[in-house]
Chain A
């Protein structure tokens, strides 16, 4: 079996927050306690959408110490392939779902003297759990959260109400923007920076921090990466002895799963390394999208991360 351990849950609350974001609450079907987790963790939700099973990762935003329920917030993505739409349109109170054990690829560095959180849009979710974790131990933190408009500012009221000194909100439609250079400049020694949001925001924070001389280990990021579509291609799987077709809208990992190949995965977002696969032979070009392999590995033609990366060309043979 691939992926993390599974838990059967039922949906015990659904709260629409605004036009785009809805919150879901899960409790165990058997009435037992859920595992505790660390702030920043996500769970992979299995969505049975007709004949297709979608596996979408969502950050846990509830209090990590609360073992009775997990909550997630899902942003509707009308351009996506339907996982978030399915959550919004088809999932009902009382429905039973399978979710994975918590997996954390975005954990706090507990040595930090101060935690500086930078969120963009739905990227606020992991910070909600991290803030609850830090509050329990009187941790030192500060949040800078950009949203498009007050209407789309999920959890803004809750955050500014409870943490008026720590939470700072910026609205795009009011032309407010984080003054990053100044913000970084004013931090005490031993501060760690965490950023979650659109790719552009992550790149901007990492590049700015690097230019300001921050050590790489003090900058943590998580991108809610989803498999992007691309041209269809064929793959030969040497171990399974199969030739499979990867369609325009599915990832290589999803195509293997559809064909009954038990391929390893955890995050399905190019971050954990679990799906790393050896390339035996190829003629063509790789479209690498993961954060796991380094540049040398990307250009070596020897490895691919099937959860997010694709291929264009004549032949691709994988050791799977």
Chain B
């Protein structure tokens, strides 16, 4: 089975189960979420069978969908694979380094093993990390696709207007590039704007949910906080996805208002950062000890969840309404990982302060180029500026062979104990 077929099987089971036997206390909106994801995978599988053109879109899903491509979510597919061991073997056979961040190399193996369709276009970007940029380059080479590189300045804060103009001009050039090289692909501006609007509504919902996360006891379960966000423009049928975001928001806000939580007593709350083990659920262990994890902080979180950077249509950053293409450019200017180090450090502390957490679990993904070198600084700064500790814990998101569960649990226990002691002392 290829990746889409496996996802279809998995999601079909979930949809069936949740329909027949909903678990009390779980979010009702999950049903719609599974349904839209199932539809996405079915539609992607069909598109592959019909030889439709897939694109690795970088972070420009609305633009690439409006240019007539099927959105291939290669990296996020890697996050969900159930064949990590096999893929790592393939990675080694292909000559790629197995010590680089898991998802970025596993996507190459998945392509090689035909778990995913080859893209006809790869839009590279440097707006998250070196690993994603390099891996996109390799993806393009392996699939013999057309390639376009979008360059986003690392030091965007120094001159936002210049950066905005520079990135916007590249996106216009990308449109011309596609129209010149892919006959029949014409930029559908109305669709582009519609997709941006869908994403705007979704991220507005995310903001409301972010506010709800501040409630004590925490209305969000750790596993849900850890869930990867997929905006509507990543789906070819995006309208029900917008509906999902609305239902989910309503549920979360209501839970916060009514004080509904799966936790009896919230003793502590942690911010979880960077990554985590996808083959092991650490959250029950935390919940058992009364630790809530209201938020997962990663590179795009500050923009997608809207708590740090402006949403589409907001004027305050540039003092004017931006054009749709400028909005697309602004979207990628503020990945917390993609700047100089102080961006990630400051953004992480801002979220930690905002959510009033007692500690940060900084899951250092092996081979993560974005945070390598910032972890000690993060621990020092969280202590100095917020008076809270950071647990720097190294691990891999997909390679389970790297993981020592008992050591992980011991370190987590010790960290929880020390945070409880600190709280008691205050």
Do A and B associate with each other? no
Which residues of A come within 8 Å of B, CB atoms? Answer: none
